[in-house]
Structure 1
Amino acid sequence: MNTLARNFSHTFRRFLTASVLNIIGLAIAFASFFVIMTQVDYDLNFNKGYKDYEKIFRAEFKGGEDRDWQTWLSRPFGEIIENSSPYVEAVSNAMIWNSGYDYEVNGHLFNETTQTGFGNFIKTFQPEMIAGSADALNQEGNILIPQSMAIRFFGSTDAVGKTIFEGKQADNKPLTIGGVYKDFPENTQLGNMLLKPLDKNENKDNWNNFNYICYVRLSDATQAESIEKIVSQKLLEMKPFTGGIELKEGTPFFRLTPLSEVHFSKIGNKSASSRTTVYLLICVSFLIVIIAAINFMNFSLAETPMRIKSINTQKVLGATTGSLRTSLIMESVLVSILAFALSLVLILALRDSGVEDLVSADLSLGKHVILLIATFGISVLIGILAGLYPSFYVTSFPPALVLKGSFGLSPKGRKLRTTLVCFQFFISFMLIIAIGIMYAQSRYIRTSEYGYDKDAIIVGETTKEVKQQMNAVVDELSRISGVEGVAFSQFVLSSSDTYMSWGISEGERTMNYEVMPVDYRYLDVMGIRLTEGRNFKSTDGSGFIFNEAARKKYPWLTLNQPPFQKSMAFPVIGFCENIKFTSFRNDNDERPMAFFSTKDLGWEGWENTVNVRVSAGTDKVEIIRSLQKAMEKFTPGHDFHFRFMDQVLDNAYRNELRFTKQILLFSLLAIVISIIGVFGLTMFESEYRRKEIGIRKIFGSTTGEILRMFNRRYLYILIGCFIVAAPFGWWIGQHWLEGFAERTPIRAWIFLTSFLLVTAITMITVTVQSWKNANENPANSIKTE
């Protein structure tokens, strides 16, 4: 052990720069591996925190050949599933997903995500109850809350029987806590929400109100296919749907998707995570570790010629070959373990930085014990592998011949190190090209024409009080300097892949289109241009303004005439240009939609969003502060979450943007680690070739020619690696772009930029490192062996 410590200390001091760079490179790689794999673990184990998760399924429906699969079902549809087979243990019959609701608890106002459904709909997921019973949901006025919410409300989980109030206490809508359930893991479908029952009579026999998401628990997961057939046959016999829904025998229209697959399903959520993305992250994590391991091996190989004499001297003095090899391998393992320890420090530092936002998982070390052990095992393995070959090579010479030759300059040695460096550059080029394609698509999303003035729009949430005083709200906000217009809508444009879909059928005519309920001010405030007809007026009743895609698909649409005479007898007031109302995952120019005035329908509470148009040059921070202050006059203390449209887009593409940022960060780290390797190798190579450099200078070579000699070799390596890596980078980027219906073309500048970036960094590194020996006095170089 003393010999190991002495050799390690001597080697570390002698090759200080290389050793430090080696440890830093490995530490970055181990930290990157840990961070990436927390995201991988989060995704691959999503929804696996439920009891017998493999027995839970989500019901999905397809209402016709020209329609997409959807997750929304009607209430009696769920009841058909529930009664279809004795293998059906429970059905979430059914759930409707809601956003935040205000609740008053002991004089304090909380905004909590809420989920409602019929009866004991939580039975499907079987949470662990800490207090009370899940059956409490069968009683009207009872709710369930998670453990964390109980502590937030009351400071403890002793909450059963206590009362909270929906909205404010003055609204007199008391709710009794019937049970407290243990928090589900973060990576679960249900989440930790306040759960309450819906009215038992809501949509009881309404087959055509697709408002609910249905989850099914089976006693035997292998019976899912037979239940699909039973439910499908019952629906074919009943034919309960209208609105243009056509069910055909032999054409699949109902299926059960395993809960473990829901996280990766694009049905109802085109921004869902992708298994391909997860597998790519796994590859990136291991590639970064491999790059660092290559650096480590290169350093070990490069040190070998300079250690042969000292190692073989120990053999002459009596040390056995086995003990020397073991000592050298242990040195390598020790360096790797030190790098692992440093990586833990880096991970702890990342917890309070913006890097933590790049992953969905918690980066706490204590929550990933198995991953920590695995990372430590990888560090030990890398140490063994990096030290194995050099230890056998350096001890393979007869001591008497130890000074003959140099592996560092031999063809075999240079070829091996060149191969390892080529692999590093290959990975760097591949990742940079892929990130360039992703960046181009992100820029395309931000800079494209949306058909409305998105850069001038601020959106915010509303409350019950705001909805009851819309005209007063408009007057109050219009008095703020910089505000040019205010309008209300149910949805935020460009924030989702789908909104409210209507299917209508009458005679031989069938229509399927998206509906955006808005007030009469909306199109003017948003800057949406009409192509024919007129805008809404305050005196209008209900009516439609369709986009041009709808007119193209349904040519019978006529101004001042309803689309259908019986089932939808509201007039078409006008037509507008096609706008980017959903995400770029859809082809918005081919997607029918309509803005709809709800006046004659008597709908209440649809005005979820307030849209504010501001003048150019307005201070964004100040205007949002003013809007928040003005809205608090109607609902004091409420956060209305005002944001510009660029924030809306960031949220709409959060998975893609997060993945892009992940790949960007780890691509840069891969380049940094590769450059560390180039720096170390150049340092060793210039040391090996000091005598050659001196002789060349004596024969007239200039410093520039010496530097070009070093750079030329790396330039050839870079060109070869780029040619091989470019197709792989293109494939990764092209595969990622397939998630978008509207996408940017892959341009040549992406490839050129990636080549110039990596080449410039490498050439600068080689030049800086070689400068000292290239400028050294030849007399000193020649005297040095």
Structure 2
Amino acid sequence: MLRNYLFIAWRNSTRNKLYFLINHAGLAIGMTACIFMVEYANFELSYDTFNQQAGDLYRVVNDRYQDGKRVQHSPMTYSAVGQAMRHEFPEVINHTRVAPLASRILIADDQKMGKQNGMAVDPSFFGMFSYQLIAGNRDLVLREPDEIILSESCARKLFPDVGSNVASLIGRLVNLERSAVPYKLTGICYDVPDNSHLQFDFLVAYSSLYRGGNRYWKSADSSFTESYFYHYIQLKPGSDPKRLEAQLPGFSQRYFRGNKVTGSTEKFSLQPLLKAHLYSDFGAEIGKTGNATIVWGALLSALLILSIAWINYINLATARAVERAKEVGIRKSSGATRTQLVFQFFSESLLSNFLSMLLAAGLIYFVQARFNELVQRNLSIHYVFGEGLQSNSVTFGLLLIILSGICIAGFYPALVLSSFKPVDVLKGKFSTSSRGVILRKALVSGQFAVTIALVAGSIIIYQQMRYAAQKPLGLTLSQVLVISPPQLLENDSSFITRSRSFKEELKNLVHVKAATNSGRIPGEDLHRMFDVHRPDKLSSPRFAVNNMSIGEDFLDLYDIKLLAGRNFRSTDYNEDLSKVRTTLLNESAAKLFGFPTASEAVGKSIILYERPYEIVGVTHDFHQKSIHHPVEPVVMMPNYSLYNPISVKVEPNELTTTLAAIRQVYDRFFPGNVFAYRFLDDQFNEQYNADRVVGKVFALFAGLAVLIAALGLLGLSWLATRQRTREIGVRKVLGASVQNIVLLLSGDFLGLILIAFLVAVPVAWFVMQRWLTGFAYRISINAWVFVAAGGLALLIALITIGYQTLKAANANPVKSLRSE
């Protein structure tokens, strides 16, 4: 019986080639889009789920408040926090501190590798996280201060002759930049999974930070005053994190003396490890972050696309009811039961969806690489069946939705078609029935509502991205080359002199315009200073401001304009930082400290590090980070450091020759160091990568929605004209013009698009308004965006149904009446 059902289903499906193509093309495209988005969503939701104890792991985050205003929101906190929590709270059974060691140089024998990212961690790190070792004992590693672990790829690059046996490297010595004592290699770990928010090339023992009285990390062991560290804690299984959080205000009061140290109050909280990737709005973030709104929005869009495809199937199947009415009447007259007919039509639905799945599988195979480029992820069909949110919830949800869609798309037309009364059908009375018309119209309107909303969203995202690219930043980023600092030198008294000489020689190169040092470059987080205030006002309020050390050419190189006063001079710099006494403010900082105008701030003082600094100048505000973030108060100080990157302004012509010349000068002044560079505008614009992905995905889905809706409209208009052949013939015989016929056939569809427009506009406006709140500086949504989206949908509809309606209107009425 089933074989017979499938045979009849195949024959009916392929009898009309256009109907077959429209149905399966729409379903296949919808399924392909949905599977791609499930790959992406499952990957994003699977971050850190490979950790066996992920459900019990949390990271400690803290907020600082001054005068009731939050001035810091960060997962970076104090080195003593984890130890104190484990001592105070019995539910905390383990903890590890993490100190990032970014862009470091590793040296082994004569091999040097720059730009390696590592972390200093406690020995408990491997007891909490499930990073796997290829070689070494995970229970014993990182217990001594001179131990290091390398990732497999890092180890193979650093020891290129290792061959297949990386375990043979255990015991080898590795230097981390200028480390006085080499590190002993005690472990090789597998490369960190892509879905880990912590990414590293190497790990060193946390105790290395404070061994030998290391003055840079003297507070690394136990401090409640300096916050350069990250903390992860493990709770006893079954513990209530909310109950623990409720005890943290008391914990803060016992251990943190913020009101005495920085003039601020401190509030600690816990963030589940499984939310660290998608739900992070913190500054100074250590890990890879995503956006939950984008993930769920993309998944919803994919389901809407698939729904549009199913709507097409339902509409076309029910609209085709007239053509199959006689078939149903004859089969019922021959003794077929309604149950048999339902199974017959349902088998056709199953066959259509199965064929569409096969076609979708082929599309995925050929398009997967392009989709990966679009979302900047290394995805595969494997992620459809991977775990997200600690379970296969997304995959099960997808399967449930697909099965539900197949059932609905199959059963509804089956029930409609099997309900025909054979007497009425065979008498020809069914042709005037209005069964299902209202539902089909509602579904068509829903299709175009989704299409209009996606098109409008794509236009708004494009406008915001263009605004971000064109908005004046208060500084110039183009043609700026950033060279990594010479990290293999001692930071001795000769460094300032050598650094100045290096920059002067760079300026003498033909195509180099300027060169400077700075503690941070545009696009990076700045250090935060607390308890900054004016000494000339009684009860002066304390402020938290961003701090940035810069060279004397920084303002000129980046075209940052002075509002008042002067730039730094060479005499403002001193290797003894206790003798530095001058500072520059940006306009926001000058206003924060209560100066009515920029000129009135010049010559005044502010208290930094508990001593007065003279304000020698005030600059225009500039965007240190992307327009996601507001411009904040910045205090600039004259300072050179060994770890300051070097910015070089170059001319665009003969860039290869210029780079070679810069490298020659660098190697002469800083022999033995690794020369590495990057272009600043590329690095700065990486802050918009996630937004660009959203824009591309929206544009792709909008295009697919238009295509699928157009296919459905094409099929419906084709069926409508076929079913109204006699009516058109009669109207033409009675004198109706071609224009009258075209308006008659297309009027219903155009009215449905108007309804779709009215539904789509408020929904799209609300969603995109929410998305725009993620930008401190954003566009206003204009009405013309929705008019354009609606106009595009209308144009697509006119083009789609135009051919069919014109063909029907121009047909010979005598021929159509004779055929009836």
Distance of aligned partners of 1:580 and 1:60 in 2 relative to their CA distance in 1, 3 Å threshold: same
Residue 633 of structure 2: aligned partner: 592
Distance of aligned partners of 1:613 and 1:9 in 2 relative to their CA distance in 1, 3 Å threshold: same
Q: CA deviation at 1:751?
A: 1.4
Q: Deviations over 1:658-708 (max 9, x none)?
A: 223222222221222111111111111111122222333333433333333
Distance of aligned partners of 1:29 and 1:470 in 2 relative to their CA distance in 1, 3 Å threshold: farther
Identity of aligned residues (%): 22
Distance of aligned partners of 1:772 and 1:392 in 2 relative to their CA distance in 1, 3 Å threshold: same
Give the letter aligned to residue 139 of structure 1: E
Contact 1:330 1:384 (C-alpha < 8 Å) held by counterparts: no
Give the letter aligned to residue 532 of structure 1: A
Q: CA deviation at 1:418?
A: 1.0
Contact 1:426 1:725 (C-alpha < 8 Å) held by counterparts: yes
Residue 448 of structure 2: aligned partner: 425
The structure 2 residue matched to 1:90, chosen from 94, 111, 114, is 94
Structure 1 stretch displaced more, 213-222 or 333-342: 213-222
Distance of aligned partners of 1:692 and 1:144 in 2 relative to their CA distance in 1, 3 Å threshold: same
Residue 71 of structure 1: aligned partner: 75
The 5 A counterparts of 1:282-681 are 282-317=299-334, 319-358=336-375, 360=377, 362-365=379-382, 368=385, 378-405=401-428, 410-459=433-482, 461-464=484-487, 470-471=499-500, 474=503, 478=507, 482-493=511-522, 495-496=523-524, 498-505=525-532, 508-509=539-540, 510-541=542-573, 542=580, 543-555=582-594, 558-564=601-607, 567-588=610-631, 591-599=632-640, 603-605=641-643, 607-608=644-645, 610-615=646-651, 618=652, 623=655, 626-627=658-659, 630-631=662-663, 634=666, 640-643=676-679, 645=681, 647-681=682-716
Contact 2:149 2:187 (C-alpha < 8 Å) held by counterparts: yes
Give the letter aligned to residue 140 of structure 1: P
Structure 2 portions without partners, runs of 5+: 212-216, 387-391, 574-579
Residue 209 of structure 2: aligned partner: 199
2:73 is paired with a residue whose SS is: coil
Contact 2:585 2:619 (C-alpha < 8 Å) held by counterparts: yes
Q: CA deviation at 1:2?
A: 5.0
Structure 1 stretch displaced more, 119-128 or 281-290: 119-128
Q: How far, CA to CA, are the matches of 2:513 and 2:766 in structure 1?
A: 46
The answer as to 2:178 corresponding to 1:158 is no
Distance of aligned partners of 1:171 and 1:503 in 2 relative to their CA distance in 1, 3 Å threshold: closer
Distance of aligned partners of 1:533 and 1:697 in 2 relative to their CA distance in 1, 3 Å threshold: same
Q: Deviations over 1:108-128 (max 9, x none)?
A: 554532112455544442544
Residue 704 of structure 1: aligned partner: 739
Q: How far, CA to CA, are the matches of 2:731 and 2:509 in structure 1?
A: 76
Q: CA deviation at 1:194?
A: 1.1
Q: How far, CA to CA, are the matches of 2:86 and 2:381 in structure 1?
A: 41
Q: How far, CA to CA, are the matches of 1:367 and 1:211 in structure 2?
A: 38
State the number of aligned residues: 766
Q: How far, CA to CA, are the matches of 2:5 and 2:814 in structure 1?
A: 37
The answer as to 2:280 corresponding to 1:265 is yes
Q: How far, CA to CA, are the matches of 2:481 and 2:776 in structure 1?
A: 26
Q: Deviations over 1:463-485 (max 9, x none)?
A: 53699764565466546665422
Structure 1 stretch displaced more, 474-483 or 739-748: 474-483
Give the letter aligned to residue 203 of structure 1: K
Q: How far, CA to CA, are the matches of 1:700 and 1:326 in structure 2?
A: 46
Contact 1:365 1:372 (C-alpha < 8 Å) held by counterparts: no
Q: What RMSD, in angstroms, separates the aligned Cα atoms of the two structures?
A: 3.3
Structure 1 stretch displaced more, 385-394 or 755-764: 385-394
1:585 is paired with a residue whose SS is: coil
Give the letter aligned to residue 85 of structure 1: F
Contact 2:527 2:547 (C-alpha < 8 Å) held by counterparts: yes
Q: How far, CA to CA, are the matches of 2:27 and 2:609 in structure 1?
A: 71
Contact 1:56 1:259 (C-alpha < 8 Å) held by counterparts: yes
Structure 1 stretch displaced more, 102-111 or 343-352: 102-111
Q: CA deviation at 1:337?
A: 1.0
Contact 2:318 2:417 (C-alpha < 8 Å) held by counterparts: no
Contact 2:545 2:589 (C-alpha < 8 Å) held by counterparts: yes
1:222 is paired with a residue whose SS is: coil
Contact 1:485 1:612 (C-alpha < 8 Å) held by counterparts: yes
2:9 is paired with a residue whose SS is: helix
The 5 A counterparts of 1:164-313 are 165-166=174-175, 174-182=182-190, 185-197=193-205, 198-201=208-211, 202-204=217-219, 206-220=223-237, 222=239, 224-225=241-242, 227-228=244-245, 232-237=249-254, 240-241=257-258, 245-246=262-263, 253-263=267-277, 264-268=279-283, 272-313=289-330
Give the letter aligned to residue 585 of structure 2: F
Q: How far, CA to CA, are the matches of 2:84 and 2:247 in structure 1?
A: 10
Give the letter aligned to residue 721 of structure 1: A
Contact 1:707 1:774 (C-alpha < 8 Å) held by counterparts: yes
Q: Deviations over 1:77-131 (max 9, x none)?
A: 4443343233322222x32223333334576554532112455544442544443
Q: Deviations over 1:238-281 (max 9, x none)?
A: 55447863466xxx712222222322031226995444443333
Q: How far, CA to CA, are the matches of 1:207 and 1:373 in structure 2?
A: 46
Q: Deviations over 1:517-566 (max 9, x none)?
A: 22111110110000011112234324321101111111368434542287
Contact 1:132 1:178 (C-alpha < 8 Å) held by counterparts: yes
Distance of aligned partners of 1:355 and 1:77 in 2 relative to their CA distance in 1, 3 Å threshold: closer
Q: How far, CA to CA, are the matches of 1:433 and 1:326 in structure 2?
A: 41
Give the letter aligned to residue 336 of structure 1: N
Give the letter aligned to residue 383 of structure 1: I
Q: How far, CA to CA, are the matches of 1:367 and 1:159 in structure 2?
A: 38
Q: Deviations over 1:614-647 (max 9, x none)?
A: 45xx36xx637853774377469968352352x3
Contact 1:120 1:138 (C-alpha < 8 Å) held by counterparts: no
The answer as to 2:179 corresponding to 1:140 is no
The answer as to 2:750 corresponding to 1:715 is yes
Structure 1 portions without partners, runs of 5+: none
Structure 1 stretch displaced more, 624-633 or 77-86: 624-633
Q: CA deviation at 1:395?
A: 3.0
Q: How far, CA to CA, are the matches of 2:739 and 2:626 in structure 1?
A: 54
Distance of aligned partners of 1:238 and 1:359 in 2 relative to their CA distance in 1, 3 Å threshold: closer
Q: Deviations over 1:141-192 (max 9, x none)?
A: 2112345555665444525624253468x99874322123455542223235
Q: How far, CA to CA, are the matches of 1:711 and 1:650 in structure 2?
A: 47
Distance of aligned partners of 1:6 and 1:225 in 2 relative to their CA distance in 1, 3 Å threshold: closer
Distance of aligned partners of 1:377 and 1:147 in 2 relative to their CA distance in 1, 3 Å threshold: farther
Q: How far, CA to CA, are the matches of 2:786 and 2:731 in structure 1?
A: 37
Give the letter aligned to residue 98 of structure 2: M
Q: How far, CA to CA, are the matches of 2:701 and 2:260 in structure 1?
A: 50
Q: CA deviation at 1:650?
A: 3.3
1:217 is paired with a residue whose SS is: strand
Contact 2:588 2:633 (C-alpha < 8 Å) held by counterparts: yes
Q: CA deviation at 1:34?
A: 1.4
TM-score normalized with structure 2 length: 0.85
Q: How far, CA to CA, are the matches of 2:174 and 2:814 in structure 1?
A: 89
1:417 is paired with a residue whose SS is: helix
Contact 1:682 1:770 (C-alpha < 8 Å) held by counterparts: yes
2:74 is paired with a residue whose SS is: coil
Distance of aligned partners of 1:306 and 1:18 in 2 relative to their CA distance in 1, 3 Å threshold: same
Q: CA deviation at 1:500?
A: 1.0
